Copies of this chain bind each other. A is one copy, B any other.
Amino acid sequence: MIGVYDSGYGGLTVLRALRAALPTHDFVYLGDSGRAPYGGRDTDTILDFAEQCVERLFEEGCPLVVVACHTVSCVALRHLQRRYGPGGALVGAATESDSAGATPRRILGVTIPAAEAAVAQSRGHIGVIGTARTVSSGTFATELAKLGPHRVTQRAAPLLAPIVEEGWEDSAIARLAVARYVAELGDIDTLVLGCTHYPLLRAAFEATLPEGVAILDPAPFVAARLSDWLDRHPGFVAPGTGTLRVLCTDPAGFRAHGERFLGEPLPVVAHVAEEGGRLAHKATVEVRLGQIVR
C-alpha cells in the first residue's frame, strides 16, 4: 500500500492523479483536516504533526508515503526524509510494535516534481502561487534555482484556499481574486499551482491568464515521478487491486468537501481521534458519509 498524507482534503486532488496513474496500487490517504490549516502553526508543531501522520501511515502498512501538501512538503519534507529515510535516525523504527524492525521506509514530496515540470516547460519566467507559508519557506525558489537560471516570481495567495473551502470556486469572487493575484506575477510564461486547492480554480485561472501562459498543476507530474520510482524499486511496495482507504481527523469536513476534491464519491472515511496533540494509534470510530458506525 502507498500512503498519501495531507494536512486536509486538498491532497485528494493529488491522490486522484496518483490513482489514475497507478490504478492497480492500493492507497491509504490520511488527511489531518481536524488540525488544518497548518499555515499558522509554528515550525516545530508542523514537524510534530507530520511525524505523527507519516508514522500512522507506516502503521497502516505503507512503506512509502507521498506528502501531498505543498506547505508540509516545503516546510517538513527534509526533516521527515532525514528521520525516516535511508540512513535516517528512525529507519524501520517508526513503530515500536512493528516486528520487522528493519523495514525500509521512503517519503516523497510534491515540490521537486513541480519544480522539474516547471523548468521543463518554461521559456524563462516561472510564477508560483501558494499559501503564505509555502512562499515564505523559499523552498520552491531554491529547488527551481538548482535546475536552471529561470526567473521566478512568487506570490502568496491567502484568499484562494478559503474561497475553495467555501465552495465558491465558480464565482465572480474567485475570478476577481485570481485575476488580482495573477496581475502581480508580471510576464510569466508558466504558473505553478503550488497548493492542492488551486486545481479546483482551474476555470478561473484559464479565464484570467493571458494566452500562452501555461497552468501547471503538479499532481500528474508527482504521479509520473512516483511511477518511475516504483519501476526503479521493484518489490518495495506490494502490488494491489486499486483499493482506497481514507483516514482523517475531522470526518465532518471530509463529508462537506472531500468529494469535490477527489472527483468521485469518497469511500468509508475512518476517523483518527486526536487528543492532547497526539493522534490515536487505532481508528476508534468509523464514519460512512455522515453515519457513525460504532
Contacts and interface: CB of A to CB of B under 8 A. Distances in A.
A214 interface: no
Interface in A165-221: 165-166, 168, 171-173, 176-177, 180
A166 B158 CA distance: 8
Nearest to A181: B166
Interface of A is mostly: loop
B176 A277 contact: no
Interface in A133-176: 158-159, 162-163, 165-166, 168, 171-173, 176
Interface of A: 35-42, 158-159, 162-163, 165-166, 168, 171-173, 176-177, 180, 277
Given A36-B40, A173-B176, 18 more contacts: A35-B40, A35-B42, A38-B40, A39-B40, A40-B40, A40-B41, A42-B277, A158-B162, A158-B166, A159-B159, A159-B166, A159-B173, A162-B162, A171-B180, A172-B176, A173-B173, A173-B177, A173-B180
A180 B168 contact: yes
Contacts of A171: 176, 180
Question: Which of A158, A163, A177 has the most B CB atoms < 10 Å from its CB?
Answer: A177
A168 B181 CA distance: 12
Contact of A41 (B41, B159, B180): B41
Contacts of A159: 159, 162-163, 166, 173
Nearest to A277: B42
Contacts of A177: 173
A277 B43 CA distance: 11
A163 B158 CA distance: 9
Of all A-B residue pairs in the complex, the 6 with the closest CB atoms, nearest first, are: A173-B176, A40-B40, A158-B162, A159-B162, A173-B177, A172-B176
A109 B239 CA distance: 59
Question: Which of A42, A173, A176 has the most B CB atoms < 10 Å from its CB?
Answer: A173
Nearest to A163: B159
Contacts of A37: 40
Contacts of A35: 40, 42
A129 to B, nearest CB: 13
Contacts of A163: 159
A223 B173 CA distance: 35
A171 B159 CA distance: 14
A277 B41 CA distance: 11
Nearest to A179: B173
A165 B171 CA distance: 21
A165 to B, nearest CB: 7
A36 to B, nearest CB: 7
A152 to B, nearest CB: 22
A201 to B, nearest CB: 14
